Amino acid sequence: MIISRVAHGLARRLAWWRSAPALHPHGLLCTGTLTVTAHTGTAWGVPWLDRPGSYPVTVRWSRALGLPRGLPDGLGLAVRVEDADGPGSTLDLLFTSSRPGRFGRHLPLPRPDALKGPYSTLLSYRVGDRERVLAAFPVTDGRRDDVRPTLRQELARGPVRFALRAAAPDEHWRTFANLSLQAVRTAPSSRTVSYDPYAHNLTGLRPTGRLRRLRDAAYAGSRHGRTGDGRDE
């Protein structure tokens, strides 16, 4: 596809120019816990969502273009759930700053503030027998003030919490889990976490295939740009 080739080339050149991933070049890596809540009413039809439990998570918060703090940027919240479907299995969920409305949840919304509004998967997931968008809503507990602290500063004050919710176009948002970020993870700069929701999903809970080729092409271009010379082959 022409669009995929263009995405590959642009991502390759940008990654080469900045010597970092084309998108979300730098991020804050956090540890935390994801707790699947006991559902009330209709079951989700997904074994993992219909079974309450707690799981360790590694979360990466980042700015899509790497713009300076204070400038609006597309914000990313990447969540890796460890042992989600048994020992050794992982679930990756990628959220982007957005609006909560029926149409706004499908569009990225640049923001300067990490906790000012929700994040969504933008594209739908197959959740049981329906397509639903997943979202992460910050839970501020009324402690925020007029000064916008960084996510690192918020973590220094205590856990940062999100309510994870899902909704189809004709549904209200419904909580399926709570996410608590508890500490900044310190690790060698050479060690990174590569999140891939297509490779790491669960039975009954997987992203739809829309735009997968475009995403794969952009990520491949970014990898080539960091290891090559940035020119198209």
Q: What is the CATH number of the domain that holds 101?
A: 2.40.180.10
Integer-rounded Cα radius of gyration of the chain: 18
Pair 146, 124: CB distance under 8 Å: no
Q: Judge whether 8 lies within some domain.
A: no
Beta bridge mates, 31: 58, 183
**Among all chains, which residue has been given the structure tokens 């940008």?**
14
pLDDT band at 6 (very low <50, low <70, confident <90, very high): very low
Distances (CA, A) of 91 to 12, 48, 152, 202: 27, 10, 24, 7
Model confidence at 75: pLDDT above 50? yes
Report d(CA 138, CA 118) in Å as an integer.
6
Cβ burial of 231 (10 Å; 0-12, 13-18, 19+) is exposed
User: Which segment of 12-26, 113-127, 164-178 scores lowest on mean pLDDT?
Assistant: 12-26
In a 13 Å sphere around the CA of 168, the CA atoms on its Cβ side amount to 9
What single-letter DSSP state applies at residue 111? Answer: B
Q: Tell me the pLDDT tens digit for each residue of 96-112.
A: 999 999 999 999 999 98
Q: Judge whether 15 lies within some domain.
A: no
Report the first-to-last Cα separation within the chain, whole angstroms: 16
Q: Judge whether 220 lies within some domain.
A: no
Q: Judge whether 135 lies within some domain.
A: yes
Tally of domains within the chain? 1
Report d(CA 151, CA 28) in Å as an integer.
8
Cβ burial of 95 (10 Å; 0-12, 13-18, 19+) is buried
pLDDT confidence of residue 78: 94
Q: Judge whether 1 lies within some domain.
A: no
Q: Tell me the pLDDT tens digit for each residue of 154-202.
A: 888 889 999 999 999 999 999 999 999 998 876 544 456 788 888 899 9
Q: Tell me the pLDDT tens digit for each residue of 79-93.
A: 999 999 889 899 999
Distances (CA, A) of 188 to 58, 150, 157, 192, 217: 15, 22, 24, 8, 28
Q: Judge whether 231 lies within some domain.
A: no
Pair 40, 52: CB distance under 8 Å: no
SS3 content of the chain, % helix, strand, coil (to 5): 20, 35, 50
List the domain range (segments joined by +) for residue 200: 24-210
Q: Judge whether 157 lies within some domain.
A: yes
Q: Judge whether 227 lies within some domain.
A: no
Report d(CA 214, CA 206) in Å as an integer.
17
| pTM, entire model | 0.81
